[in-house]
Amino acid sequence: MSSNVLGTEGYAEYAAQMIERWERMPFSDLHGDVAHLLPEVPSLILDVGAGSGRDASALAEMGHSIVAVEPVDALRNFGSTRHRSSRIEWVDDSLPDLNVVRSMNLAFDVAMLTAVWMHIDASERVHAMRHLSSLLLHGGHVLMTIRHGPVPTGRRMFEVTHDETVQLAAVCGLRCVHSDTTGSIQESNRNQGVTWTRLAFRRN
């Protein structure tokens, strides 16, 4: 599906390089600040833009069941092979509509969007946030990271602010429970001034 999905530009062409880089990043380094929001008991987690499957694999090792959404064929094929697990179901789907996921009639404890949100435009984000909220159990969480800084050549990215995202989430019944901004853990990106906003929302 990757060639037809806006926001995935550049990922299929450079999948091998991205996979190598992503697989070197420990889950704990990337998500340690919101680890306390992950359920302590086995739960159902939606990983949107699952990429190489690094996070889905780490979550599966914690005992969770994951629906891993990845529209880029090369990434999904790698992840489903490298991180093969009975706890991970790989799905060819994408934001903003998540049509396949919504047709599964599941309710999730957590929805994760790591380095995804800035790939869709303002109108798409409105639809996406509504769908994410509707897919969560009451008390469930959305955990997301948003990239800021120079856009790599050939990619589709938008500047998305903290305030805009928090306000949109609130309209969709999601309350912000965590917010921080940090530099990139990748030295090359850090040197270019890339920063990341991490947000966590709880469904009312």
What are the tens digits of pLDDT across the range 39-89? 999 999 999 999 999 999 999 999 999 999 999 999 999 999 999 999 999
Report how many helices (DSSP H) and strands (DSSP E) the chain contains, helices first: 8, 7
Query: Residue 4: how many CB atoms within 10 A of its CB?
Result: 8
Q: In terms of Cα–Cα distance, which of 147, 137, 142 is closest to 181?
A: 147
CA distances from 174 to 55, 116, 133, 187 (A): 23, 18, 7, 33
Q: What is the pLDDT of residues 90-134, one digit of tens each?
A: 999 999 999 999 999 999 999 999 999 999 999 999 999 999 999
Fold that domain 2-203 belongs to in CATH = Rossmann fold (3.40.50)
CA distances (Å), origin 167, targets 142, 161, 170:
14, 10, 5
Q: Which amino acid is at 193?
A: G
12, burial (CB in 10 Å: exposed 0-12, middle 13-18, buried 19+) = middle
**pTM of the complete model beyond 0.85:** yes
In the chain, where the domains are located: 2-203
